[in-house]
Amino acid sequence: MEQTSELYKDLEKVLLTKEEILEKVRELGRQITRDYAGKKPVMVCILKGAAVFFTDLIREIDLPLTLDFMAISSYGSATKTSGVVRILKDLDNDILGKDVIVVEDIVDTGITLTYLSRILQQRGAKSLKIATLLDKPARRKVQDLKVDYMCFDIPDAFVVGYGLDYDQRYRNLPDIGILSPKIYGNQ
Ligand code: IMP
Ligand code: MG
């Protein structure tokens, strides 16, 4: 997709290009390959936002890993997370005794992942690590969430593309961009 396409017109600016993203994802894949040498991690994709990152990342990890998928939604309004997560689609397989890596698109307040980590720990995972593409540390509300792997620290702006959405749109943008405020204004 060209940056002159219709979807790009709603961006204030491109923050990260697909080339920059892929370079970091490759680096992360190599790091996970080293860290999990001799292990068979279960890679858990948090739908839908992490789907694009997930499919790129798993192909950069040279291990006998397996995949699973989970879809969650936060109770509360669109702008305020309540801290209670509803599971829309649960994992297909048991994670008891497994080395689990949760793959998320972005950590914002951290409330969603804190809640999710607790649920997965209770199911008896042998180890649990979090890999996120983006992190907005300025917005964090929970201080004890440990993000183990992260590709980019970004400023406090609303971003879309490479899987991330606004109202379910823009997930198919190959790059990540800051959404133009005029788009929110129309809502
Ligand atoms: P939190 O860490 O519990 O606040 O929630 C993180 C979730 O909020 C992510 O999984 C995204 O679905 C969503 N989110 C937060 N910031 C953004 C953004 O800038 N663009 C798109 N989605 C976002
Ligand atoms: Mg999400």
Per-residue pLDDT tens listing for the chain (187 residues)? 888 888 999 999 999 999 999 999 999 999 999 999 999 999 999 999 999 999 999 999 999 999 999 999 876 555 556 677 889 999 999 999 999 999 999 999 999 999 999 999 999 999 999 999 999 999 899 988 999 999 999 999 999 999 999 999 999 999 999 999 999 775 5
In whole angstroms, what is the distance from residue 186 CA to residue 183 CA?
6
> Which residue's CA is minimally distant from atom 12 of ligand 1?
49
Among residues 132, 174, 170, 172, which one has the least CA distance to residue 153?
132
The amino acid present at 78, given as its one-letter code, is A
In whole angstroms, what is the distance from residue 78 CA to residue 73 CA?
11
Q: Where are the alpha helices (DSSP H) in 38-166?
A: 51-58, 111-122
Rounded to the nearest angstrom, the distance between the alpha carbon of 146 and the centre of ligand 1 is: 16
Active-site residue, selected from the candidate residues 56, 108, 135, 175: 108
Query: Is the CB of residue 170 less than 8 Å from the CB of residue 179?
Result: yes
Please write the tens of the pLDDT for every residue from 69-98. 999 987 655 555 667 788 999 999 999 999
pTM (2 d.p.) = 0.94
Please write the tens of the pLDDT for every residue from 4-25. 888 999 999 999 999 999 999 9
Query: Is the CB of residue 152 less than 8 Å from the CB of residue 121?
Result: no
Tell me whether residue 108 is one of the annotated catalytic residues: yes
The 3-state DSSP class for residue 70 equals strand
Q: With a 6 A CB cut-off, is 108 part of the ligand 1 pocket?
A: yes
Rounded to the nearest angstrom, the distance between the alpha carbon of 35 and the centre of ligand 2 is: 26
